[in-house]
Each structure stands twice: as C-alpha cells, then as structure tokens.
Structure 1
Amino acid sequence: MSSWKKAAKANQKTHRERHQPETRKHLGLLEKKKDYKKRADDYHKKGKTLKLLRKRTLDKNPDEFYFHMINSRVKDGVHHELEKEDEHSSEQVKLMQTQDIKYINMKRTIESRTINRLQAQLHMTDVADSTPNTHTFFVDEWEEKELDVAKRLDTHPALLGRKSNRPKLSDLDKITLPDVDEETVEKMKKKKEKIYKEIAKRIQREKELTVVHQKMELKRHLQDVKVMKPKKIARGSKDAAPVYQFQYNRKK
C-alpha cells in the first residue's frame, strides 16, 4: 500500500452510530447495525430452510418407504422417537469387553456345580411341597364318595400335602423324634431360607452367564470370513441372544 493511501486512510473520520435520545429512552434500545445484521441473517436463513423443505415436499415420492416411518410416533400432536430396547445390559457389555469366552464358560460351570451342591444339601423339599399334587386314584362310582385318601395311602391326614418324606402309619409308631427347642427350630429355618436365597441368586447369575456365552459364541461365528452373512431372525435382548439363520454348506 502506497504512503498516499495510508495517509488518506489515517485521515478518514470514524463515523459512529448515534445513541438513543433521552426523550426516546422509554421506547427501548435503539437498534444498531449489528443488531439489524443478526436479524437479517436469521430471516434469510429461515427463508432458505423453508425453500428447501418446500422443494423436498414437491420432490417426495408418496410410495417411498424409510425406516423412520416405523421408528417414530405422533402423540397428541407431538412427535416422539420410539425408545429402542438395549440389547445388552451393562454387566454383559463389561464382561464381553474384558473377558474371553473360556473365562465365561468356567464361571458358568462353577455356578452350575454350586447350585447342584446346594440343592442336594436341601433336597428342595419345600419347593416340591409348594406345587399341588396330581395323584390320581381310579375307583368305582360307588367307592368315590367313601374314598379316604389318608387311609388309602396309609398315612396321617396332616401329611397328605407332602410329596416326599411322607411316612406310613406303621412307620410313625417306630419313629422317635429328638427334643428340639423353638430357638433351634427358628435358627434352622433362617439358615434354610438363607440357602434358598443364595440358590435363587446363583440361578439368575448362571442364566446371565449363559446369555453372555451365547452372544460371544455367536459374535465369533459372525466374524468368520468364510461364512456367508446369515439372516437375522430375532433380535437379541438382555435375557436372550439374537437368532441367526446360517446357510447350510454341504460337506465334501
């Protein structure tokens, strides 16, 4: 830039916008050029958006299908996105990212053996007695009204609800029961309830490990480059692995 232009630019007067007169302060702030510029830009931006939407509406094919049609709903005039169910729980994601399939299988085997050991310890008699009996006696019509189930089974009427440990009347006379105080009975009852709760927790844990094992095994098969892309039949969830249909390849 030449010295003449620099001098001319230095001598230019800076024009400032006038302030709001005192008599018009009650009307609010006086709009400056920067305020007008923001308002004009916003106006033109909205105009371009409306023009683009109008063009898309005119060019839209009414027979066209897109997945957002079935993944959203309008309720009371408000548009809502359908919430997708998480395929994996947080614990499943953590196990799938940090552990391998052998570790999952080992933990599942340990849980299964522990459950069998606890069930063998309790014999699960309370669970068996909680389900109704379906024992059927075949008798004649004239015997049906006179049928005495306790007499037929040769046991005490108070023991009819049991499926196991139901001694006969002849054996009851030979049994000598030990003297047990109420404190010991209550203590054994609490211990038994504690074991049942532990069994329930371990069964749930084994189910989760089984689902994780199935998902990891399926993921390993899907990553095999030799296998063609299978067809997905059912989506996975927290309680079940996804179901795929693989193409059958005949062995040579």
Structure 2
Amino acid sequence: MSVWKKAAKAHQKSHKERHQPEERKHLGLLEKKKDYVKRAQDFNEKKETLKLLRKRALNKNPDEFYHHMINSKTENGMHFEKETEAEDTPEQIRLMRSQDLKYITTKRTQELKKIEKLQAQLHLASVDHSVKNKHIYFTKNLDKDELKKKKLEQLSKKELPDVNLDDLAEAAKKKKHLYNELAKRINREKELSVIQQKIEIKRHVENRKNVLPPKRVRRGNRTQAPVYVWQYERKK
C-alpha cells in the first residue's frame, strides 16, 4: 500500500513556500521550515553538549592530577591559562617568513667558517712566541767549582727583557674583543640552526598530506625545534 502512495505522490505538484511579503521586508528574512530545522538541530546539539559537560564537572575529582593543570590556574572561581613562552622569537618569525631554507643554510655555513677562523686566531694568540735563551755548558775539562762559577757569572750578566705595558694591555684588549666576537658568532649560529630545523620540519609536515598527520611529541621553543613522529609506512 505504501508503494502505491509513493507512486501517487510522485506526480503531485510541489507547493513552494511563500516569499517574504513586500510590506514585511523591514522585519527581516522570513524563516522557512528548512531554516527552522537547522536552527533546532544546532540548539539541541548544544543543549546535549552542555548537559554532558555539566555531568562531567559534577563527577570530577578535584584532587585528581591531569597534565593540563600545569599550564592553567583558577582564581576566584575563574579559569585562566598560564602565560607560556612564545615558541618563536620575533626575529625567527621574520626570517622564516621572508627567507627560504637555502638562505638560512648559506648564512649558517658562513657563520661556521667565521667561528673556525676566530678559534684559530685565539689559539695562535695564546701561544708564547718569545724565544727562550738556552746556555749549553761543556763540562769535559771543568770541575764542579769552576762549573758553578761559570753559571753564577752567566746569571749575573743576564738581564730581564724590557716589558712594554702598553703592548700587553693592547694584546689583552684585542684578545677580549676576539672572545666577545666569537661568543656572538656562536649564538648567531645556534639561532640559525634552530630556524633551519623549524623550516625543515614544517616542510616535512606540509608535504605529507596523503598520509595521516604526524603526532607532535615535544613542543618547540626559542632554543629547539618541535619534534614530530610519523606513522610507520611500509615500503612496497
């Protein structure tokens, strides 16, 4: 019987809903039945969600530990998120947006070469290049008393070299300047290394769109890149 009803309704005229009358346009859009159905479904979904959340809040143990409580706090009954350190510094964001991976790699290589050059200069500066005098005594025909007398004569004739304090101060100042420059170069190379790792990981994440998204194991910060784990893919 239901089949005959459906067949009879197949040729019926579909009645359209009336449009908004001209004299009621100032009241807004006239809601149709399909609009009401969507609004009712959305309202009921939100109602059920609030009901579930209220039930979970009542059944929750306040002394139970959960990991998010480390980064959140409650003051006067209000829940707040703790301020965490930004993952990227403004300079890292600017470089990652404006430059590509080749530029970062080139600059890092240049910094490494400059660091090696500065380390070589400091290594040579720490070496004492002054020639030390050596006195050789031939004791074949001399006894102990004569040998002792010769040594005393040599020590009395030996004079201390003249030391220029200005030269020592200038050398110490130059050495301190080299160490400061080396420290700056090392910090710069570390920053470029972190930026390079972040760009490479971002490219790996974006290029693998056909497989499941990777899972982030560790959140990145200003001194280290984030760590992701991809699902094992069997090679054909």
TM exceeds 0.5? yes
Contact 2:125/2:175 (<8 A) preserved: no
* 1:187 corresponding residue in structure 2: 170
Structure 1's 100 and 182: CA in aligned 2 closer, same or farther, altered over 3 A?
same
SS at match of 1:251: coil
* 2:189 corresponding residue in structure 1: 206
* 1:235 corresponding residue in structure 2: 219
In structure 2, which of residues 225, 228, 234 is the aligned counterpart of residue 244 of structure 1?
Answer: 228
Q: TM-score under structure 2 normalisation?
A: 0.56
Render the CA deviation track for 1:86-113: whole Å, top value 9, x for unaligned. Answer: 0001110000010001000000000000
Please tell me whether residue 95 in structure 1 is matched to residue 95 in structure 2: yes
TM-fit CA distance, 1:72: 2.5
Residues 45-84 of structure 1 aligned to structure 2 (within 5 Å): 59-62=54-57, 63=59, 71-75=71-75, 80-84=80-84
Please tell me whether residue 174 in structure 1 is matched to residue 134 in structure 2: yes
Aligned AA (1:182):
L
SS at match of 2:56: coil
Alpha-carbon distance in 2 for matches of 1:58, 1:210: 45
SS at match of 2:84: coil
Aligned AA (1:236):
G
* 2:115 corresponding residue in structure 1: 115
Please tell me whether residue 217 in structure 1 is matched to residue 200 in structure 2: yes
Alpha-carbon distance in 1 for matches of 2:81, 2:106: 41
SS at match of 1:74: strand
Residue segments in structure 2 that go unaligned for 5+ positions in a row: 1-46, 136-159
* 1:6 corresponding residue in structure 2: none
Alpha-carbon distance in 1 for matches of 2:73, 2:196: 36
Render the CA deviation track for 1:157-197: whole Å, top value 9, x for unaligned. Answer: xxxxxxx87xxxxx95439x974410011001101100100
Structure 1's 74 and 122: CA in aligned 2 closer, same or farther, altered over 3 A?
same
SS at match of 1:122: helix
Alpha-carbon distance in 2 for matches of 1:112, 1:98: 22
TM-fit CA distance, 1:230: 1.0
TM-fit CA distance, 1:207: 0.2
Alpha-carbon RMSD across the aligned residues, in angstroms, is 3.7
Alpha-carbon distance in 1 for matches of 2:210, 2:93: 27
SS at match of 1:61: helix
Render the CA deviation track for 1:117-172: whole Å, top value 9, x for unaligned. Answer: 0101111887xxxxxxxxxxxxxxxxxxxxxxxxxxxxxxxxxxxxx87xxxxx95
Alpha-carbon distance in 2 for matches of 1:75, 1:192: 54
SS at match of 1:88: coil
Structure 1's 79 and 64: CA in aligned 2 closer, same or farther, altered over 3 A?
closer
Alpha-carbon distance in 1 for matches of 2:114, 2:74: 51
Alpha-carbon distance in 2 for matches of 1:58, 1:203: 51
Residue segments in structure 1 that go unaligned for 5+ positions in a row: 1-51, 127-163, 166-170
* 1:18 corresponding residue in structure 2: none
TM-fit CA distance, 1:240: 0.1
SS at match of 1:104: helix
Render the CA deviation track for 1:64-100: whole Å, top value 9, x for unaligned. Answer: 7999766421257775431122000111000001000
